[in-house]
């Protein structure tokens, strides 16, 4: 791996391929795999990640919003793309770029049917989301009659899949609730298929669901965080490889005396003679203020150094009193050797937040192609 000379997010495509193959190994041969590349592919680079996944013959991609799908299409991605939270304002964009919307309520169902009719579409692929307990988005079971009455004997739309989302698939204490969701989904699917006289494929499992509820694979599963190297459980994390490694360098080293302060608001005061280092990244790069004052730590020459004082917009300061290091040395915020889950835990958050929050001003470097 190249040594960082500036703040860099290193993307290891060999690690992505390893994670993809590991997840595929958990699936039945006939089970489709949908890869989630929303939020700039969890803070990495959606185009780079999607192109690699397309080369590996992924069955589906998913984004949150239509504009994310537009970016992929304009980059030449041909794989089917599910838009998980398409907004009615962007339905013409969805159709223009051959994206497949998730429809989740009578209102958005009517609006997309109207848009498809206006664009003279026939059998346009859509996916219907049902709420089974997450209570975020989704039709209720009681909406099935409405859906059937609205589109039976019409030809504008083709229902490609029906799906739902587990609320706590990584939590062993909520196993009973997850099974209740799965059983509810099966009941909805049976009623839906009977009333609409169609047979769409089904999916409910996310990354933790794939690992913990293999009996509910149905015809497709979805994976996001697992592709990027995190399985929400230590036993699965050990099988996965971090795709993104955030690196930077030491800009300057200071030697401070007792009771000197460091950073804004003098949030850190030394108790003795200490050595500090300043790094060229901050909350504008995605390392928020919550990591300051000892909550977060970084890795230098294999040793942990705590972040001290308040995180600045473009800089953070660390305590390197007990570490042999020099200006220009490489520093790892998270990635290989210091996982994003470990880094995030110091600020009482999760890997998803720290990964997806990395600013696009940070240079991306690809390795392991």
Strands 201-203 and 8-12: unpaired
Residue 251 has pLDDT above 90, yes or no: yes
User: pLDDT (tens digit, 9 = 90+) per residue, 200-235?
Assistant: 999 999 999 999 999 999 999 999 999 999 998 888
Query: What is the average pLDDT across 1-28?
Result: 95
Residue 223's nearest CA partner among 13, 26, 11, 12 is 26
Residue pair 305/274 in contact (Cβ under 8 Å)? The answer is: no
pTM of the model: 0.95
Confidence (pLDDT) at 236: 87
Catalytic residue among 22, 24, 195, 264: 264
Query: What is the average pLDDT across 45-64?
Result: 98
Confidence (pLDDT) at 234: 84
Confidence (pLDDT) at 263: 95
DSSP for 83-148, written as a single string: ETT--GGGHHHHHHTT-EEEE-SHHHHHHHHHHHHHTT-SSEEEEEEB-SSS-SS-B-GGGHHHHH
Report the first-to-last Cα separation within the chain, whole angstroms.
Answer: 12
Residue 81's nearest CA partner among 93, 67, 63 is 63
Q: Which residues in 252-268 are b (16+ Cβ under 10 Å) and which e?
A: eeeebeeeeebbeeebb
Confidence (pLDDT) at 119: 96
Number of CB atoms found within 10 A of residue 15's CB: 22
Residue pair 277/299 in contact (Cβ under 8 Å)? The answer is: no
- Rama region for 270: left / alpha / beta (φ>0; ψ in -120 to 50; rest): beta
Residue pair 54/75 in contact (Cβ under 8 Å)? The answer is: no
Residue pair 340/351 in contact (Cβ under 8 Å)? The answer is: yes
DSSP element (H, E) containing 179: helix 175-196
Query: What is the average pLDDT across 238-262?
Result: 97
Residue 104's nearest CA partner among 81, 88, 124 is 88
Paired strand residues for 129: 163
Catalytic residue among 20, 38, 42, 104: 38
User: pLDDT (tens digit, 9 = 90+) per residue, 267-286?
Assistant: 999 999 999 999 999 999 99
Residue pair 362/286 in contact (Cβ under 8 Å)? The answer is: yes
Concerning whether 55 is annotated as a catalytic residue, the answer is no
220-223: strand order across its sheet: 201-203, 157-163, 124-129, 100-103, 81-83, 60-63, 32-36, 220-223
Confidence (pLDDT) at 10: 97
User: pLDDT (tens digit, 9 = 90+) per residue, 138-179?
Assistant: 999 999 999 999 998 889 999 999 999 999 999 999 999 999
DSSP SS3 for 211? helix
Confidence (pLDDT) at 1: 66
Query: What is the average pLDDT across 250-260?
Result: 97
What are the residues whose beta carbons fall under 8 Å from the beta carbon of 282, sequence distance 6 or more? 311, 312, 313, 314, 315, 316
Confidence (pLDDT) at 337: 84
DSSP for 292-314, written as a single string: TTTT-EEEETTEEEEEES---SS
Structural domains of the chain sorted by starting position, each given as residue range(s) with its CATH number in brackets? 31-228 (3.20.20.10), 244-367 (2.40.37.10)
Residue pair 130/165 in contact (Cβ under 8 Å)? The answer is: no
Residue 2 has pLDDT above 80, yes or no: no
User: pLDDT (tens digit, 9 = 90+) per residue, 91-132?
Assistant: 999 999 999 999 999 999 999 999 999 999 999 999 999 999
Confidence (pLDDT) at 112: 98
How high is the mean pLDDT of the chain? 96
Confidence band of 323 (pLDDT split at 50, 70, 90): very high
Concerning whether 60 is annotated as a catalytic residue, the answer is no
């Amino acid at each position: 791996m190249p040594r960082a000379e500036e703040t860099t997010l290193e993307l290891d495509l060999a690690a992505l391929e390893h994670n993809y193959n590991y997840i595929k190994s958990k699936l039945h041969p006939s089970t489709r795999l949908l890869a989630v590349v929303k939020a700039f592919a969890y803070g990495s680079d959606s185009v780079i990640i999607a192109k690699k996944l397309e080369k590996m013959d992924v069955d589906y991609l998913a984004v949150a919003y239509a504009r994310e799908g537009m970016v992929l299409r304009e980059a030449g991605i041909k794989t089917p793309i599910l838009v998980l939270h398409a907004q009615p304002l962007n339905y013409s964009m969805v159709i223009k770029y051959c994206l497949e919307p998730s429809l989740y309520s009578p209102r958005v169902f009517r609006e997309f049917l109207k848009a498809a009719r206006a664009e003279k579409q026939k059998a346009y692929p859509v996916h219907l989301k049902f709420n089974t307990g997450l209570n975020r988005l989704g039709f209720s079971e009681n909406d099935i009659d409405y859906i059937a009455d609205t589109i039976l004997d019409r030809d504008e739309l083709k229902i490609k899949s029906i799906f739902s989302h587990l609320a706590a698939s990584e939590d062993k204490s909520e196993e009973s609730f997850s099974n209740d969701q799965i059983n509810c989904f099966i009941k909805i699917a049976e009623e839906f298929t009977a009333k609409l006289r169609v047979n769409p494929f089904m999916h409910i499992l996310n990354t933790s669901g794939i690992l913990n509820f293999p009996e509910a694979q149905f015809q497709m599963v979805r994976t996001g965080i697992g592709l990027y190297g995190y399985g929400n459980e230590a036993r699965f994390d050990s099988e996965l490889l971090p795709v993104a490694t955030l690196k930077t360098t030491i800009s300057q080293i200071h030697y401070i005396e007792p009771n000197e302060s460091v950073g804004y608001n003098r949030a850190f005061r030394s108790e003795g003679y200490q050595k500090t280092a300043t790094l060229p990244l901050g909350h504008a790069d995605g390392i928020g203020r919550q990591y300051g004052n000892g909550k977060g730590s970084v890795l230098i020459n294999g040793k942990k150094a705590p972040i001290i004082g308040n995180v600045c917009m473009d800089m953070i300061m660390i305590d390197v009193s007990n570490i042999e290091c020099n200006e220009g040395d490489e520093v790892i915020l998270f990635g290989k050797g210091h996982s994003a889950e470990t880094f995030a835990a110091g600020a009482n958050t999760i890997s998803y937040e720290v990964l997806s929050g990395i600013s696009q001003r940070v240079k991306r470097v690809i390795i392991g192609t």
